[in-house]
Amino acid sequence: MRSGGIFDIPGKSVRIKELDARIQQSDFWDDAQSAQKVMQDLSSLREKVDVWEAIGRRTHDALDLYGIAEDDPDLLAELEGEASALEADLETREFTLAMSGPHDGAGAILSIHAGAGGTEAQDWTQMLLRMYLRWTEKQRYKTFITDETQGEEAGIKSVTVEINGANAYGLLRAEKGVHRLVRLSPFDSNNRRHTSFAKVEVMPVLDEDIDIQIDPKDIEIEVFLSSGAGGQNVQKNQTAVRIRHLPTGLIVTSQNERSQGQNREMAMRVLRGRVYEMEEEKRLTEKAKLKGKVDDANFGSQIRSYVLHPYQMVKDLRTDVETGNTAAVLDGEIDMFIEAWLKSNLQDVE
């Protein structure tokens, strides 16, 4: 096993001892919220160490037995079964390791923005929204659309969804980037083929104790009439909130909550997530430079192509995973792409 990064079992064992010592301190429970976080971290670390130490013991025992099993067909058959079981277990653990980031276990805020192309791109954005909502249903995640801007003729210009459930961010971060659609346009009277683009952004739902500095002096807040859920009431009160973050130029909007205060709180949550993602993007870009990588580290680069005409194919351009079952993909069957991307990035996890 590797001696560092996500496989650093000795390092994790040292950290467990440090946290155990901290728990024994007399003032440990004075700050209940901090204490609870320490207990969660300790439990997670112990689980990781126990799993890998158990796999290590099984591997060691199997190798020892192999030395005396060459002339014993029954023992060899038993060892083959254990090898297969270990391989399957390692496959599962590899996927788990791919989600070892600090916020991978958190909920996610997913935004989809139509690219150039007017109604075509806006319809594609709505198709992507349906795809992700169907996927969240299969994962048994809870979703809430916090902001949505409808297209003039059809589709959606932009939409933001909060997704709550274990590992939502860790899984959905595989979806960041530009998604490309090629099809015969239902909006073209001449039935010509069109190419549409939409950008997907994914941010973690951050705990309040996560240190993301947003100075109140650096934001401008605007309130306006909501066009979201709420019936006639939204036309009478300025409940929608738009926040502009001056240092970065980021603009976030929330209008589907019932009150201005709730929309402001939601907008700030989205803003914190986007600021975090910008910082993370900078870190990854610098890391790629240090490693001498020449591939594009920008989250906005094109990641997947969905072709509905002249043939049926969805292909992830990062991993080369592809399928001809486009209907299933657009109905939320995207796990193959997510898992392949996460596993392909294992070597970059630290």
Q: What is the CATH number of the domain that holds 66?
A: 1.20.58.410
Instruction: Give the confidence band of 231 by pLDDT, cuts at 50, 70, 90.
Output: very low
- pLDDT given at position 188: 82
* Residue 142 covered by a domain: no
- Average pLDDT value for residue range 257-261: 85
How does pLDDT run across 100-118, given as a tens digit for each residue? 777 888 899 999 999 987 8
Asked whether residue 227 carries a pLDDT value surpassing 70, the answer given is: no
Cα–Cα distance list, 16 to 184, 206, 321 (Å): 58, 24, 39
* Residue 223 covered by a domain: no
* Residue 281 covered by a domain: no
Q: How large a percentage of the chain has pLDDT more than 90?
A: 42
* Residue 324 covered by a domain: no
Q: Are 241 and 265 in contact (CB under 8 A)?
A: no
Instruction: Give the confidence band of 196 by pLDDT, cuts at 50, 70, 90.
Output: very high
Q: How many domains does the chain have?
A: 1
Query: Which of 188, 195, 173, 200 has its CA nearest to residue 306?
Result: 195
CA-to-CA distance for 186 and 120, rounded, in angstroms? 9
Q: Pairing between strand 240-245 and 193-204?
A: unpaired
* Residue 92 covered by a domain: yes
- pLDDT given at position 235: 43
* Residue 83 covered by a domain: yes
- pLDDT given at position 150: 92
Helix (H) or strand (E) run with residue 54 in it: helix 32-66
How many CB atoms lie under 10 A from the CB of residue 317?
15
* Residue 261 covered by a domain: no
- pLDDT given at position 337: 96
Helix (H) or strand (E) run with residue 149 in it: strand 142-150
Domain, as residue range, for 39: 5-97
* Residue 14 covered by a domain: yes
- Average pLDDT value for residue range 210-233: 74
Which of 76-90, 122-136, 199-213, 222-236 holds the top average pLDDT?
Answer: 122-136
How does pLDDT run across 32-88, given as a tens digit for each residue? 878 887 887 788 778 778 877 888 788 878 777 777 766 777 777 778 888 888 877
How does pLDDT run across 319-328, given as a tens digit for each residue? 999 999 999 9
Both tokens assigned to 349? 């996890």
Instruction: Give the confidence band of 206 by pLDDT, cuts at 50, 70, 90.
Output: confident
In 225-329 the beta strands, taken as DSSP E runs, fall at: 240-245, 250-254, 302-307, 313-316, 322-323
- Average pLDDT value for residue range 219-223: 93
